[in-house]
Amino acid sequence: MIAFINNRINWIFLLLLIIAVLSAMKTADKKRVVIGYVTGYSGLINAEQIDAKQLTHINYAFVNVKNNQAHLDNEERDVENFKRLNALKAKNPS
């Protein structure tokens, strides 16, 4: 009876160890995400002030919603800002 209990405890311990190792491996696979928040309403973006190597994503704000469609507030400025942000992406395409 004691041998049966010891054997069962060993199996439970082994199972818990395998679960712990597998969960640690899955956690190690996650990549760090750093998001830059950029607004266009204050004018053109100075891309030289943004270190693209430090960012994984950039959120650009804002658009207006009219009749369930997105519309740029200032199309000329926003299009130029998109060009500048795409140039940053070329420096760090991740």
Q: Tell me, what's the pLDDT at 13?
A: 75
Whether 89 shows a pLDDT value over 90: the answer reads no
Whether 61 contacts 72, CB under 8 Å: no
Give the position of tokens 């311990």: 13
Determine the Cα–Cα distance for residues 56 and 52; give it in Å rounded to an integer: 8
Average pLDDT, stretch 62-88? 88
Q: Tell me, what's the pLDDT at 31?
A: 77
If we measure between CA atoms, which residue out of 47, 30, 27, 29 comes closest to residue 38? 47
What's the pLDDT tens digit per position in 54-66? Answer: 998 888 888 888 8
Beta strands 35-39 and 57-61, pairing class = parallel
Q: How far is CA 13 from CA 7, 32, 68, in A?
A: 10, 32, 56
What's the pLDDT tens digit per position in 2-56? Answer: 555 567 777 777 777 778 777 776 555 567 889 999 888 889 999 889 998 899 8
